[in-house]
Amino acid sequence: MASAETELAATSAQKADSKIRTDLATLQEKMDLCTSMLHPGAAAPSFSTDNTTMMSVVGFLEACVPRMVELVEVAAMGAVSEEVLMECLQKNDALQKVLTDIDQAAMTETSASTTTASADVPSVSDQLDDLLLDDGGAAAAANFTIGDDDDDEGVDDQKPSANLKSDDEFDSFFAERTASK
């Protein structure tokens, strides 16, 4: 009887190992597909959210991340053979690398499109020139400084009075709290 239970457990473990290896092979195929789409030939990595096939593969890979974590944890507890555990760890590392490559390509693509889009925007100084209304224009702006030059002699530095009435609930609340300190 003990022999039958041991044989059943061994058969069950072999089936689990076989199933996991099949799943890991599918994961490897998707990672290879994604890598080939991300690095077409010798060109720089390219990532496009408009490419539905690429987005589908990336979605699959991202969905595999929590599953791989669970699989590694279960495998580390001895639910599968040591060879399968090692394969799980290798595939998990490869998956993390592929996702990192995708993130870097996406950031490169985003910064490149942002740079292209921002090339047509006028500079901040050009935009602010219209706000300098006096005849001094840019010269007045260049001579402007922020500092304590005693312009605020008449300004009272006391705390706000709790007797101030305000229509705004927050202002009333804030005035009450600051007055009590």
Alpha helices (H) in the chain, listed in sequence order = 2-38, 52-76, 82-118, 124-128, 138-143, 169-179
What is the separation of C-alpha 73 from the centre of its chain, rounded to a whole number of angstroms?
25
Q: Which residues, including other chains, have CB under 8 Å from residue 120's CB and lie 6 or more apart?
A: none
**Which two three-digit tokens encode residue 166?**
């305000």
Q: Determine which of 9-18, 68-77, 134-143 has the lowest per-residue pLDDT on average.
A: 134-143
Could you tell me the domains of the chain?
A: 2-115 (1.20.58)
Residue 10 to residue 16: CA distance in whole angstroms: 10
Joined tokens for residue 116: 């292209």
Worst-scoring range by mean pLDDT, 6-20, 53-67, 72-86, 135-149? 135-149
Q: How far apart are CA 13 and CA 11, in angstroms?
A: 5
Q: pLDDT of 1-44, one tens digit each?
A: 556 566 656 677 788 889 999 999 999 999 999 888 887 765 55
